[in-house]
Amino acid sequence: MLKKSVKKQQGLTMISMLVVIVFLLFQAVIAMNVIPVYMTDSSVKDVMERLEQDPKSTGLSAKELKESVIKRLRLNSVYDIKPEYIKVKKGRGVNVVTIEYEPRGKLIGTLDFIVTFKHEASIPIR
């Protein structure tokens, strides 16, 4: 008798199936809104790494470094980074280029997200 009732209870009920589907849809909505932000950040990180490795960057002034970063970002189709997010500070024998920004976006209804990113590159002055 006990074996028959256990066999009847296999699988999910309709309500538990709906809960699982709603949970998966919520995760999909979050992924669709947040993944592009991380893809853009990947491009920003790549630009900063290449800037640090590029011998042409050595010896550039702070203004020229900022313009170079902006051009590189535009070439990689990154338009969300505004020039005021890019800062160049002089250190001991290096210029430190920093990009710090917080992309924001909507998830569902009044639910928003904020992500903070910061990237640095040290460029020799000469």
- Domain membership of residue 10 (yes or no) is no
- Domain membership of residue 6 (yes or no) is no
- Domain membership of residue 29 (yes or no) is no
Asked whether residue 73 carries a pLDDT value surpassing 80, the answer given is yes
Residues near 26 by Cβ (< 8 Å), separated by ≥ 6? 108
Q: Which residues pair with 124 in a beta bridge?
A: 94
pLDDT at 53: 93
pLDDT at 14: 87
- Domain membership of residue 17 (yes or no) is no
- Domain membership of residue 4 (yes or no) is no
Asked whether residue 30 carries a pLDDT value surpassing 60, the answer given is yes
- Domain membership of residue 112 (yes or no) is yes
- 82-125 pLDDT per residue, tens: 999 999 999 888 999 999 999 999 988 899 999 999 999 999 98
Domain count, the chain: 1
Note down the domain range covering 113.
Answer: 34-124
- Domain membership of residue 73 (yes or no) is yes
Q: What is the mean pLDDT of the chain?
A: 91
- Domain membership of residue 50 (yes or no) is yes
